[in-house]
Structure 1
Amino acid sequence: MRHDAVVVGSGPNGLIAALTLAEAGRRVLLIEAEQTFGGALRSRELTLPGLTHDVGAAVVAMALASPAFRDRVVGNPTAGGVRQARGESGRAHSAIRGALEVEFAHAPIEAAHPLDGRPAVLVHREAGRTAAALGRDRAAWEATVGATARAGFPLIDTLLSPLSVPRAPVSAARFGVFGALPLTTLARRVFRTVEGRAVLAGMAAHSVLDLRAPITAGYGMLLASTAHLVGWPVVRGGSQRLADALVARFRALGGETVSGHRVRHLRELEAATVILDVTPRQFLTMADLPPRYRRGLERYRLGPGVFKVDWALDGPVPWLDPAVAAAGTVHLGGTMEEIALSEAEMAAGRHSPRPYVLLVQPYAADPTRGGHTLWAYCHVPNGSRVDMTDAIEGQIERFAPGFRDRVLARHVMDTAALESFDANLVGGDIGGGMASLGQFVRRPVWSPAPWRTPLPGVFLCSSATPPGGGTHGMGGYHAARLALRGTS
């Protein structure tokens, strides 16, 4: 047997799993169905020649916050592993020393939330500055998001390892007091202003859940806290560079790679350990599974999909509030009530005419992309084929009149196109399954170690395993560590 382990799939979880095994001295083969490694962590010229677009993941805050990246791959920020450099545009960049040759570029403002007839809410790296601008909601922000950020990496590590002994049990308990609530409940009970409620709703809507559902407040608090703790960077030159750096590190450790080969069945693989960065739906076709486990995978619920648009512009977006131009990420949807309505319609299987839109302005942080590229998506029912381009652009025009006049070219991806790009994005689901309370712990089945399957030596590590979606690599990290304990 030439390899000790085979990892199938090279998204962030698969890459971290392969690295973890290789760093432990195992002989590892990494197999990717597509020609390019990275899963959703890839970049392409989608609109005009010379312009780099992130096809999937763009803002990678969790790559700095997660211990899978922070400690084992890119160095530990708490130990001085992150240094500050200056970019071509004078904006601050974080260059990672050590294993990876990757630079993370930060916009002057981490995120912005425009509102009709009011100044936009700006989320700065400094929690105090963000809270102070919220006026009457200063104390509310400090008690929720600020407290989460102050708890630091021990709390982040606890939340990203939900089935492990908590590193920060007291902080986790305090987080749970607010975090277990629906976003709408927390916002109405604790926040008093339109601005405070709206900005937290924009954060919580990343969960792709009805904001009246439990734990949506927790998603919003955690995500917002990372803006204060590590920032919301993009990868300088495109997200593909992070994937390429991970692959290069893996090869330097002796790992072997094969791209352009889709594994159809586990009998193709010869290794004592197999780790699969695939969805439950794919796993069902790849193996002969015990009936009870198979039924559990069949019951696993997919999440909604997204409809994504990329643009090439002839200049910056003409925001009504000029401050929004300095933000890397922009949440569009208006008030909390509007965002909650939009997400409730989506959860009910409908398409909102005024959807919540998550938009990224890479040029605000990274001038190396070749021009003014823009990236945005809205949430849609899983498998939707409805063209949401006009609805998305309508929300941008609402806060930036004249936007369409700046468009040189656009590229659209509905749910089918996203799944074609990456087979793990089933029906356009970018989170690897519904992120509801039930599937927060039953992911993909009830188990104290859900990464382990009933098949000896076979593990799952995709975002359908804890802690779920995001560019954090923790599914791969947990699966690989579990596999190593079984073979040591």
Structure 2
Amino acid sequence: MSESYDAIIVGSGPNGLAAAVTLARAGLSVALYERQNTLGGAASTGEVTLPGFRHDLGSAVHPLALQSWFFREFGLERRVRFVVPEVSFAHPLDGARAGLAYRDLHRTADALGRDGAAYARLLAPLVAHLRGVADFTGNALLRIPGDPLAAVFFGIRSLEQGGPWWNARFREDVAPAMITGVSAHSILPQPSLAAGGAGLVLATYAHGRGWPIPVGGSQSIADAMISDFRAHGGAVHTGVDVADLRQLPPARAVLLDVTPRALVRLAGDRMPWAYRRAMERFRYGGGVAKVDFALSDPVPWADPDVALAGTVHLGGTRAEIAAAENAVLRGGHPDAPYVLAAQPSLFDTTRAPEGRHVLWAYTHVPAGSAADREEAVVAQIERFAPGFRDTVLASSSRTAVDVATWNPNFPGGDISAGAPSLPQLVGRPVYSPDPWRTPMPGIYLCSSSTSPGPGVHGLAGWQAALSALRHEFGTRLRPDLAPRDDQIASV
């Protein structure tokens, strides 16, 4: 590696790509290094079951894509075609019942019977302050919120849904199950303040602008950033496993889309002792086991309206999901686990051969679990969709160990790249107004292990790049990221 660059990015996940785009748009010479032979990280799509069936290898549905400050500046909606289902998520219950989270909050509430008004009162102020909620939760939390009222509404409701009194406003079982279904995305104790907050953010997006599905798969999001990076002179090096920062060519700034654990290994003795201790104290959360299915027909849900949703939360009542999730955090593998499923082929015909379908699913497991959870996932789907087994043409199952091997940013299968507990959301990975900048000159951390945390939003990479521009290149100007006319996707 005899070249030299203004900046180097290690890792091509959504945050690494966001950093690369931002620095290249600033007119710098930038190189991107990726250990895999393909780019995209958690925003990758590939054939893992049968030819012609395209599965999202990481994230499938993107609640943050339409609200991320970075993606708004990048003009993602103009670059990538999205389908936004009428129902953001569905929550089946026994007895062929289901809660449906329509984008229209009032339509959702009307179908919830006695709890409809309570559900609407919980979420209406947040939906009304959608942009404020998005910017507050998508920023370093040590900063003053731009919309203080949104922060107040969000904080009060997070306390409610994160405490033992979380059922106080509800009288029936559907509405609270729906809230816990989105809260359980976090892989945190149920109830807890951080889990309650995560659920409210996702529910707010569900009733704000919906949960979009990218046409062509999540790879479309990564490809839009890769294309822009290359169009502005970026150099891409794939198949390069960086094991030590000294491997890299000279650069004024190095931005690492890696975990704190990997940063310690890459930096070696260059890292100050106190900062090393902080990185070693960073805690990782539970893992996921993932199953992808190639199907002959759509999932035969007992309540056919569930097929209107792009995302489905399986696990039963609020109490059942809480019991399953808390059992995982105690090291168990519950017989009736929480399962998160997505059916993109119902909305995007590019995902499977004509008349066929794909189903994306994962369940939570203890970190580092080697247990194959395919049968538990199938059984939970069958509970709410009798006959599902008969539609399965092929499947691909990955344990938490497999997930971590595929993407080292998911240690032990932790797709959040670090437990999103309240302390580790406020101080991620350290308590600082600039948590992306390390004490090592020119070295920045830009993964989901930094603020604002997990999700395909690009915010950590964007903020790290802006920090590098300030400190290494002496500019506070934000590069213009808007697409050119030839980068706008056709409808």
User: TM-score w.r.t. structure 1 length?
Assistant: 0.93
Tell me, yes or no, if structure 1 residue 232 matches structure 2 residue 234. Answer: no
Structure 1 residue 211: deviation in Å? 1.0
Q: Matches of 2:337 and 2:67 in 1, distance apart?
A: 29
Match of 2:481 in 1: none
The residue that corresponds to 1:82 in the other structure is none
- Paired residue for 2:281? 299
User: Distance between the aligned counterparts of 2:91 and 2:437, measured in 1?
Assistant: 41
Report if the CA contact (8 A) 2:214-2:220 is conserved: yes
Paired residues of 2:133 and 2:201 also in contact (CA < 8 A): no
Alignment equivalent of 1:45, drawn from 42, 47, 50:
47
Partner of 1:58: 60
Matched position secondary structure for 1:374: strand
Is residue 166–residue 191 contact of structure 2 (8 Å, CA) maintained in 1?
no
Q: Judge which range, 338-347 or 170-179, deviates more.
A: 170-179
Q: Which residue of 2 aligns with 1:177?
A: 156
- Residue deviations 1:76-130, cap 9 Å, x none? xxxxxxxxxxxxxxxxxxxx32xx2x11122332211001115210011111111
Q: Secondary structure at the match of 1:171?
A: helix
Q: Distance in 1 between matches of 2:136 and 2:163?
A: 25
| Equivalent residue, structure 2, for 1:367 | 349
Matched, 1:273 2:266: no
307-316 or 250-259, which moves further after superposition?
250-259
Given that 2:284 and 2:419 are in contact with CA atoms closer than 8 Å, whether structure 1 keeps it comes out as yes
Whether 1:106 and 2:84 are equivalent positions in the alignment is: yes
Q: Contact 1:124 / 1:227 at 8 angstroms: preserved in 2?
A: yes
Residue matched to 1:398:
383
The count of corresponding residues between Structure 1 and Structure 2 is: 464
Mapped partners of 2:233, 2:36: distance in 1: 21
Partner of 1:215: 194
In structure 1, how many angstroms separate the alpha carbons of the residues matched to 2:419 and 2:351?
33
Structure 1 runs (4+) greater than 4 angstroms displaced: none
Q: Output the CA distance in 2 between the equivalents of 1:466 and 1:138.
A: 34
Give unmatched runs, 5+ long, in structure 1. 75-95
Partner of 1:87: none
Q: Which amino acid aligns with 1:103?
A: R
Which of 135, 138, 144 matches 2:116?
138
Helix, strand or coil: the match of 2:109?
A: helix
In structure 2, the residue matched to 1:195 is 174
Show the counterpart of 1:4.
Answer: 6
Distance 1:266 1:152 in 2: 41
Letter in 2 for 1:279: T
For 1:63, what is the secondary structure of its paired residue?
A: coil
Residue equivalent to 1:311: 293
The reply on whether 1:159 has 2:125 as its aligned counterpart is no
Between the aligned partners of 1:238 and 1:394, the Cα distance in structure 2 is 26
Which residue of 1 is the match for residue 101 of structure 2? Answer: 123
Specify the code of the residue in structure 2 equivalent to 1:41: A
Instruction: Tell me the percent identity.
Output: 48
- Provide the secondary structure at the position in 2 that maps to 1:272: strand
- Tell me how far apart the structure 2 counterparts of residues 187 and 322 of structure 1 sit (CA, whole Å): 29
Q: 1:422 aligns with which of 368, 386, 407?
A: 407
Alpha carbons 2:109, 2:116 under 8 Å: kept: yes
Which of 265, 276, 282 is the aligned partner of 1:285? 265
Query: Which residue in 1 is equivalent to 2:312?
Result: 330
In the alignment, the residues of structure 2 paired with residue 118 and residue 186 of structure 1 have an alpha-carbon distance, to the nearest angstrom, of 28
1:312-359 per-residue CA deviation (whole Å, 9 max, x = no partner) reads 111011111111122110000000000000011011111111000000
Amino acid at match of 2:86: P
3-state SS of 2:369 partner: coil
> Match of 2:484?
none
Tell whether 2:185 aligns with 1:206. yes
Deviations along 1:282-335, one digit per CA (max 9) or x if unpaired, are 111100211111111111111100001000111011111111122110000000
Aligned partner of 2:431 in structure 1 is 446
> SS at the partner of 1:338?
helix
SS in 2 for 1:4: strand
TM-score by length of 2: 0.92
CA distance in 2, matches of 1:109, 1:196: 15
